[in-house]
Each structure stands twice: as C-alpha cells, then as structure tokens.
C-alpha cells in the first residue's frame, strides 16, 4: 500500500508538471493580448521554459543521489508551485519569461527523480508496472493540458490558469511532504556521490549508450508526432480548444492503460521485443493519423494508439535504464529524461519545418517511418542491456 500510494502521489506531481509544460500554447494569444504584444512576440515564453527544463535535468540527478531523492522532489515541487502562481502577476513579457524560466528550472526535477525513487523502493518484479502507472498518470496531464488550460482561460482568464495550477501543485507538495517519510523507505543516497563521473561512465558503456540513443530518437519521432496532433485536429476538423483537449484525452487514457499492462506484455514477449512492439504500434498510429484526414474517428483511434504504443515502449525503456547505475539512479534517470526531452525538442522543430514545406501529412508519414525503423533497430541494439537487466532480476 505504501508503494502504491507513493506511485500515485508522484504521478500527481508528474501530472501537474506535464500539464504546466504544455498549457501555455492554447492561452498564448490571450497572454499576448493582455500585455499588448503580438502573439509571435509572446512565443519566447515557451522557449524560456523549455531551455532550463532540459538543462537542469542533468543538475538535479547528482543532487538527488547526494542529498536524497524525496528531499529534492518536495523542495523543487514547492518552489515550482510558487513560481507557477507568480506567473499570474506578470505584466510584461520579460517579467513573465523570467518567472517562466524559474518554473521550468524547478519542474526539471520531478520526472527523473521520481523515476529514480520508484526504482529504489519498488522491487524489480513490480517495477515496470509502477513506472508505467507513474508515467501514465503524468502524461495524462500532458494530454489534458490544452483542454484544461483552454477551459480555465475561457471561464476565468489566463491568470486563473496559473493560480489554479500553482494551488494544485502546492497541495500535492504538502501531501508528499507528509507522506514521503514513510512511503519512501528504502531510498538510497550517497553524500559522496560524484557529479560528472556517472554521466561519463554511462555514456562510455555500450549497452547504456545504445539505450540512450534509442530514447533520444524515440523523443524525436514520438514527441514530435504528439506535438502537432492539436494542430492537425484544428486544421482538419476546426475543433475548439476544449474539443481538441477532449480528443487528446485519448492519448492520456491509452498511456494509463499501457502503463498498467506493459509489465505483463514484457513478461510474455521479453523487454526488447516489447520496446519494438510499442514503437511499431506508434508507427501504425502515425499511419492512422495520415489515413484519417477525412475521419475524426480514425484520427482519434490514431491518437489513442500513439499513447498506447508510446507508453508500452517508454515504460519498458525506463525499466531497463533503472539498472544502469544502481548507486547513481538519480543521475541515470536524469540522463534518460534529458535525452527524451532533447529528442522531443529536435523532433518538434524538424516537424515544424516539414509541415511548413510539405504539410502535416508528409510529417506523419516521415515520423511513422522513423518509428518503424527505430523499432526494428531496437531489437539488436538493446539486447545486451536487456540481458543485463534480466540477470540482475534473477540475482535479486
């Protein structure tokens, strides 16, 4: 029960962080109008968040290994809640960008350090299900963010979005602070943990390096595909932000379901084949998005399958990565999240260029093909890492 509560609480922290990550996009025009700048001029708010969010992944991992993962999670989530609420007071773009950068900085700790904490306290035989549940709840926040943000902005205003998000984050922080002292029994820490050496070791080891490269390209093609689903739904079917959020919920629901079932799939297929299976499902999902140009139902099925394929592959990759550096799991999982988010940033930027030159259909064809190729390559690339993990599980 303690472990289940821990996964749920950490999932709620991931939910609000991932929701906050994407909420600016639908309310950007309202922010721009409020502070008297063109919508393009307010786009800096997105970059101001993403840059520290990506870079500080690498900072919080070693800190968590030294000072304790639960301390870092509670401290950064508390600071995140304050920074998020302060955004409601912003009156100029530079002021908002500065506060948004702080929000991204503190948000960077939640996902990787939560995964490292789960790896510390959940035994191997239940770890993939726990990781899948955590990731499913977290990405439900991402999938719902546009609808939630649009609805709050419609009923209140854009400032109300950040006030409510900040209040929810503060509530989760309080509950985590009261609960982690008992729920996180078994957490590891090393006051003398090195800062840079674990990164060097992880990238010099062939098995872990190949896994990180797979995660990097998974971010390129999967997050790149996810990023433009809202645009596709708007252009094809002229849906409102609220309706787009409703369709995008299918991604989050599928991710939650896959998070609960991926461990059983991995037990039958093996972890490497499960990763390939998930990536190929995601490739098929991109194909359904292409085929569904005139059908909202078919496009919606593609959205659902993309979430299911993503979580099937990603939760398995994360489980493999938890055994790369048992004494420095915070560092190992920070590098996972860093690789995934950098890949997502590259995939989103490349997707923008492809869409601008050839249209969204061409992008989904290219990214679907990329996912299929990556799924095939993952079989031999990850075989050594998977064998190491299975050997560790047998020893345990």
Portion of the chain with pLDDT greater than 90, in percent: 40
Given a cut of 70, is residue 69 above it in pLDDT? Answer: yes
pLDDT greater at residue 49 or residue 41: 49
- Cα first-last separation, the chain: 21
Query: C-alpha 362: how far from its chain's center?
Result: 25
Q: pLDDT for 152-173, tens place per residue?
A: 877 888 899 899 999 999 999 9
Q: Which domains does the chain have, with CATH numbers?
A: 1-180 (1.20.1250.20), 197-396 (1.20.1250.20)
Residue-wise over 245-255: b if at least 16 C-beta within 10 A, else e? bbbbbbbbbbb
CA distance 361 to 355: 8
Q: pLDDT for 98-131, tens place per residue?
A: 999 999 999 999 999 999 999 888 888 889 889 9
pLDDT score, position 390: 60
Contact partners, residue 217, CB within 8 Å, separation at least 6: 343, 370, 374
Give Cα separations from 39 to 107, 281, 365, 386 (angstroms): 25, 36, 30, 47
pLDDT score, position 213: 94
């Amino acid at each position: 029960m303690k472990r289940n509560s821990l996964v749920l609480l950490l999932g709620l922290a991931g939910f609000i962080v991932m929701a906050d990550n994407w909420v600016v996009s639908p309310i950007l025009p309202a922010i721009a109008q409020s502070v008297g700048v063109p919508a393009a001029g307010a786009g800096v708010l997105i970059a101001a968040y993403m840059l520290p969010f990506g870079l500080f992944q690498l900072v919080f991992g070693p800190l968590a290994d030294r000072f304790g993962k639960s301390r870092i999670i509670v401290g950064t989530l508390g600071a995140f809640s304050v920074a998020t609420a302060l955004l409601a007071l912003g009156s100029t773009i530079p002021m908002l960008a500065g506060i948004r950068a702080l929000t991204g900085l503190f948000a960077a700790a939640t996902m990787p350090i939560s995964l490292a904490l789960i790896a510390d306290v959940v035994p191997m035989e239940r770890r993939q299900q726990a990781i899948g549940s955590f990731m499913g709840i977290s990405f439900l926040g991402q999938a719902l963010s546009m609808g939630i943000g649009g609805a709050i902005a419609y009923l209140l205003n854009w400032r109300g979005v950040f006030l409510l998000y900040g209040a929810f984050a503060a509530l989760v922080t309080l509950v985590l602070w009261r609960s982690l002292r008992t729920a996180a029994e078994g957490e590891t820490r090393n006051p003398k943990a090195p800062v840079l050496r674990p990164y060097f070791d992880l990238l010099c080891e062939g098995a872990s390096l190949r896994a990180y490269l797979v995660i990097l390209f998974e971010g390129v093609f999967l997050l790149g595909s996810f990023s433009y689903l809202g645009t596709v739904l708007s252009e094809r079917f002229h849906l409102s932000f609220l309706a787009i959020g409703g369709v995008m919920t299918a991604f989050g629901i599928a991710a939650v379901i896959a998070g609960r079932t991926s461990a059983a799939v991995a037990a039958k297929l093996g972890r490497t084949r499960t990763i390939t299976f998930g990536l190929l499902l995601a490739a098929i999902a991109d194909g359904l998005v292409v085929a569904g140009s005139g059908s909202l139902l078919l496009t919606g099925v593609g959205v659902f399958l993309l979430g299911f394929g993503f979580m099937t592959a990603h939760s398995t990759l994360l489980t493999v990565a938890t055994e790369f550096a048992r004494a420095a799991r915070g560092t190992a999982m920070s590098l996972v999240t860093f690789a995934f988010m950098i890949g997502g940033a590259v995939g989103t930027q490349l997707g923008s260029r492809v869409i601008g030159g050839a249209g969204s259909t061409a992008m989904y064809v290219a990214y679907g093909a990329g996912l299929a190729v990556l799924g095939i390559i993952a079989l031999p690339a990850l075989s050594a890492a998977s064998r190491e993990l299975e050997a560790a599980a047998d020893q345990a």
